[in-house]
Amino acid sequence: MNKKNSGLLLFIMVQLITLILINGCNTTHKKENSAIENWEEKAWAMFEAKKLKEMLTFMDKLLKKSPANDKMLFVKAVALNELGDRTGHMSYFIKGKAICDQALMINPSNDDVMWTKAWALLGLGKSNKQYLVKACEEAIFWCNKALSINNKNEYAWYNKAWALYYLKKYNEALSCCERAIKINPNNPMHKRLRSIIIKKMKKQ
């Protein structure tokens, strides 16, 4: 093989190796982008499966790459609040509220974060009866703020209904609950709360 052919062969080999490396990098990036795009689906699947600690670990990994993503912070706060409800440990609600505050600093108009903060406040109020009234009032404030942005946010109406229920304002609580049911009649949580409120009203 002469020097000219040898040089051409070397050039072709270098080009092939470069193409392989580029394609490999592109494939890796595509997989990473796909994982990021599907993160919500994966997170909510863990929530539905009640794998809440696994969900938190998953969200923490995502937030290391995207610490200023208010939507990711919202989902993490939901997992913390749900753990608080399931375990009765106030520490989860404290963390959930802190995450909501962090998300609201990034995006002050995120209505989902607002009702999630209200949920955390209600959890803290239930854990400390002396704080319950103040917690409910704060929760109502955040639910109202969420509803001023999106009055079809079923969970803002739902959490407002709970806050009013704890304040023994049963008629107002029922009205909020009915609004949540009207928005999403297929959500069993809303109907369950309506039954709780009506049962309480009958005892009066």
**CB-side exposure of 171: number of CA atoms within 13 Å?**
1
**Mean pLDDT, rounded, for 131-135:** 97
Beta carbons of 156 and 147 less than 8 angstroms apart: yes
* Residue 189 within a domain: yes
Q: Provide the number of structural domains found in the chain.
A: 1
In a domain, 8, yes or no: no
18 lies in a domain?
no
Q: What is the mean pLDDT of residues 80-104?
A: 97
Residue 165 within a domain: yes
In-domain check, residue 114: yes
pLDDT tens by residue, 98-123: 999 999 999 999 999 999 999 999 99
Long-range contacts of 85-93 (CB under 8 A, 24+ apart): 85/123, 86/52, 88/127, 90/123, 90/124, 90/127, 90/128, 92/123, 93/120, 93/121, 93/123, 93/124, 93/127
The answer to the question of residue 176 being in a domain is yes
Domain assignment of residue 7, yes or no: no
Question: Is the pLDDT reported for residue 200 higher than 70?
Answer: yes
Length, in residues, of the chain: 204
Band of residue 176 on the pLDDT scale cut at 50, 70, 90: very high
Say what the pTM is. 0.82
Average pLDDT, the chain: 89
Helices (H), the chain: 3-37, 39-48, 52-65, 70-87, 90-106, 111-127, 132-149, 154-166, 170-183, 188-203
Structural domain boundaries enclosing 107? 49-203
Among 22, 122, 112, 38, smallest CA distance to 76 is for 112
Pair 157, 134: CB distance under 8 Å: no
Report the alpha-carbon distance of residue 36 to residue 44 in Å, rounded: 14
CATH number, domain of 74, equals 1.25.40.10
Q: Residue 184 falls within a domain, yes or no?
A: yes
